[in-house]
A and B are shown apart, each in its own frame.
Chain A
């Protein structure tokens, strides 16, 4: 395979992968290898997000009653889940994921939820609020400025604070769940992006719903982002991109070969790195699908 082009647009997933393992970035974001087997967590999470978006738009933008909006949201969730076959041992079936959305709107009811989507200068509500910003770094071949894509579930007004909002589904919500967001780069980048587009946010509201076989649970966390943290994030972002450019120019992306290979249930390229010659494994178990962070579409290559 020829050396793949360096991407024009960077996003938080790519940066998170780069910090964990540069070889992972090469495989997933430069060569676009993705597992052929669908991932239940990603699929259920995307269906849940679709349901949330549809319900919120129905209520806040189209004026539907809370009951109708929730019904429309769960309809959209079930449609998005489609005929995906949930593994037997996973609690994230279509029914359980739909149940999680019902539970969410029971705990955070449309109409009385204190976190309400901001009204943007355009008059639209800040639901699925995002953008693409120019970075102070040039593309290694075109010479055009690189861009950073960001998108949050909502930007909300909560008790006179302006916050980004992100919804997570989880298997478990332990005592450490709220702490994991305090330094999370994904959210710092969203706050930076929102500011660039004229919306100043104080931080982020993260809402988690755990989907277990027998019950649901929820937790909220608020995490703040002072200016100095945003400045530090931006400086680090440019350093991380420069490291990717250096690897790309050299034609060698460094391996982590440590904790990143086994964290969170194991890296999905573990089998590739276990093989002396990864080509056969890649062609058997993976296919090339390019994710476009701007249009949010995936294309089979």
Chain B
């Protein structure tokens, strides 16, 4: 969850406690939470793919590594 969303939810939470939160504000809040979660999930997938690319050697490299055996 991004810091922006966390601080937005903190504002909504305070308004909910004070009894001043409107349905419209909360509906927008839910949309932001959803967008943030989806963006976070795809960023995490991309990061995993990038990391995987960095550590997997090509077949040629691995065969080179065996060349001296």
Contact = CB atoms under 8 A, between A and B. Distances in A.
Interface of A: 67-68, 70-72, 74-75, 78-79, 81-83, 93-96, 98-99, 102-103, 106, 214-216
B44 A214 contact: yes
A102 B35 CA distance: 11
Interface of B is mostly: helix
A78 B13 contact: yes
B9 A102 contact: no
Contacts of A99: 1, 33, 37
Contacts, number: 62
B5 A95 contact: yes
B69 interface: no
A72 B26 contact: yes
A71 B5 contact: no
A75 B34 contact: no
Interface in B23-47: 23, 26-27, 29-30, 33-34, 37, 40-41, 44
A70 to B, nearest CB: 6
A79 B44 contact: no
B21 A75 contact: yes
B50 interface: no
Given A75-B21, A215-B41, A95 B6 contact: yes
A74 B29 CA distance: 9
A272 B5 CA distance: 41
A105 to B, nearest CB: 9
Contact of B10 (A67, A79, A95, A214): A95
A74 B1 contact: no
A102 B1 contact: no
